[in-house]
């Protein structure tokens, strides 16, 4: 379970750094995703960035692992719900490192839902100690996750929704 916690921490840390580096693009994505004015979207983006960073840090400390995992699960579950509400809309959801305007389909919604489920599992299972394999297993999970993300972005996986809205 330590490898899963480290994997989740790496995903959160990557997301927080991504938001810090691409603040303008992701402020616009948050505004469109949540239907907020730009000034409020900036506040939401900063809040989420801080929460992701705190959850990532908490996942690395055995005494706070459960709280970090619960926080991560909540962040990703709320993101999945926001995406579900915008299903079919063509927008940049901000979930990739590059700008991609595409319909919000089931694969896009499933990504944070899977992460939320993994984090919830991590919150409920007692923390295991790190071994020499832990960073390698976490790195392998991260590589697979990023590869799956890129494959899901291919046009063959885009499934336009008949209820398309913008």
| Structural domain boundaries in the chain | 2-149
What pTM was estimated for this model as a whole? 0.85
Find all residues with CB under 8 Å of 155, minimum gap 6, and list them: none
Average pLDDT over residues 50-78: 96
Q: How does pLDDT run across 95-140, given as a tens digit for each residue?
A: 766 777 788 888 889 999 999 999 999 999 877 788 899 999 999 9
pLDDT for res 40: 96
pLDDT for res 12: 96
């Amino acid at each position: 379970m330590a490898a899963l916690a480290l994997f989740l921490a790496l995903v959160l840390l990557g997301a927080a750094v991504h938001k810090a580096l691409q603040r303008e693009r992701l402020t616009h994505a948050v505004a469109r995703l949540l239907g907020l004015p730009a000034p409020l979207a900036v506040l939401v983006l900063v809040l989420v960035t801080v929460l992701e960073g705190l959850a990532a840090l908490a996942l690395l400390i055995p005494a706070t692992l459960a709280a970090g995992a619960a926080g991560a699960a909540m962040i990703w579950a709320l993101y999945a719900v926001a995406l579900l509400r915008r299903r079919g809309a063509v927008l940049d959801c901000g979930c990739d490192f590059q700008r991609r305007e595409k319909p919000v389909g089931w694969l896009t919604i499933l990504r944070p839902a899977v992460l939320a489920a993994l984090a919830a599992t991590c919150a409920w299972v007692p923390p295991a100690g790190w071994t020499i394999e832990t960073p390698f297993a976490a790195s392998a999970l991260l590589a697979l996750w990023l590869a799956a993300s890129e494959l899901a972005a291919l046009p063959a996986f885009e499934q336009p929704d008949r209820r398309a809205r913008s």
